[in-house]
A and B are shown apart, each in its own frame.
Chain A
Amino acid sequence: ETGVTQSPTHLIKTRGQQVTLRCSSQSGHNTVSWYQQALGQGPQFIFQYYREEENGRGNFPPRFSGLQFPNYSSELNVNALELDDSALYLCASSGSGRALANEQFFGPGTRLTVL
């Protein structure tokens, strides 16, 4: 176990709805990254938060947004859900904003299904 937790484990939503996914980072880590992993594909970087500020973003539309709290836990919000948003959403924590040099520890993921 990596010490990174995510909730919920599974979630079913309908098209057009909004969803919030949550991640608790490993103790002592101040950086959280979010990834989307479609079935049979590698994870795609959504964005990263370092000390409560967005610190990099991948090629995802603005309806994907996030927050990081003072305790370094994080939320991923997705508005106006589309069928293609169905995926495993992974959260990873690391010990510094310069996560390139540091190890990332992944949570178990949240499986989102959009009907």
Chain B
Amino acid sequence: KNQVEQSPQSLIILEGKNCTLQCNYTVSPFSNLRWYKQDTGRGPVSLTIMTFSENTKSNGRYTATLDADTKQSSLHITASQLSDSASYICVVSSQYGQNFVFGPGTRLSVLP
């Protein structure tokens, strides 16, 4: 069964600190992996997208890594800001069909 798991479920950090969110997946065959940021009650906004051959990709203070062998990805946030408070969702696409498998998300709260 195609699944995406994320950890931790929620995380609280202080402004200015770094943090790392984890994503494990069993989707096969793999096409690509995306990280989205979703503010409460809003639609997700793309942060990064990585294909099989990419190990790391950065978008400002966000850096995503991918290990296709272990089927793991991480999203590292550097020098967190209050506006980083949101849910971060990992999404994996299978090579077949039009299905995107979403993880449950990690709820990040950045406190002053």
Contacts and interface: CB of A to CB of B under 8 A. Distances in A.
Contacts of B24: none
The 5 lowest CB-CB distance pairs between A and B, nearest first, are: A56-B98, A106-B43, A42-B102, A100-B93, A42-B104
Interface string B7-44: 00000000000000000000000011000100001111
A56 B99 contact: yes
A7 to B, nearest CB: 13
Interface residues on A, range: 20 to 34
Contacts of B41: 88, 108-109, 111
B interface majority secondary structure: strand
Contacts of B45: 2, 106
Contacts, number: 62
Interface of B: 4, 31-32, 36, 41-46, 49, 89, 93-95, 97-105
Contacts of B97: 56
A35 B95 CA distance: 19
Interface stretch (A11-19, A43-51, A60-68, A73-81): A43-51
B43 A101 contact: no
